Amino acid sequence: MFERRKTIRRLMAVGAAGAVATALLGAAPAGATEESNERAHGVRSAVPRTGQTTWLDDPAVASGVGTARTQKSVTGIAQLRFGTHEGVKYGWARGLRTNDNHWVRFEVDLDGDRSWDEYESWRIGARNYTSGYPTSSSKDRAFRACVVDTYDEECVTGENGTVWW
């Protein structure tokens, strides 16, 4: 009986220690990916941060919405969309004609190398569009969209992904 109580106390202590460590460590380090069963977001570690970089969680509130680019692939149709909310123009991705287990992915290039610096993915079954990211007059900022099998699969221009816009 005493051994059983001792084992239970140890298990409780280990569980408590794990919870404390998780709370103290907080967010993932730069370059890491934050993910759930329905949404994923990634950032490369050396991303330049200039100007406004606030994501618009739900671009359904935008006006003047249009489609800048479209790409058809075996996983579905990826659209690169744009619109304005509260005077700020945003871009985002939308997936069409695909299944609920595919992901729509939106990639953001911030330094002009046409490689993603940030991305957001949504499982189509949860939402068929991503959050929006502010556009810029800078030639360094560009967006592309794709429909992929997994949240961490990258866009490939001309295959599953649109060209950069």
141 contacts: CB under 8 Å, gap ≥ 6? 108, 109, 110, 112, 135
Number of domains in the chain: 1
- The pair of three-digit structure tokens given for residue 69, joined into one six-digit string: 């680019």
In a domain, 73, yes or no: yes
In a domain, 2, yes or no: no
61 contacts: CB under 8 Å, gap ≥ 6? 85
Segment-wise mean pLDDT, segments of 10 residues, the chain, 165 residues? 42 37 33 66 68 82 98 96 97 96 96 94 95 95 96 93 97
Residue with tokens 């997994």: 150
In a domain, 53, yes or no: yes
In a domain, 125, yes or no: yes
Q: Which domain holds residue 118?
A: 33-148
31 contacts: CB under 8 Å, gap ≥ 6? 43, 44, 45
Q: Are 117 and 111 in contact (CB under 8 A)?
A: yes
In a domain, 96, yes or no: yes
In a domain, 12, yes or no: no
* Helix/strand/coil for 119: strand
Looking at residue 41, its pLDDT comes to: 84
Q: What b/e sequence results for 106-131 when a residue is b if at least 16 CB atoms lie within 10 Å of its CB, and e otherwise?
A: bbbbbbeeeebbbbbbbbbeebbbbb
In a domain, 11, yes or no: no
In a domain, 161, yes or no: no
Q: Are 59 and 156 in contact (CB under 8 A)?
A: no
Q: What are the tens digits of pLDDT across the range 56-100?
A: 999 999 999 999 999 999 999 999 999 999 999 999 999 999 999
If phi > 0 it is left, if psi is from -120 to 50 it is alpha, else beta; for residue 64 that is left
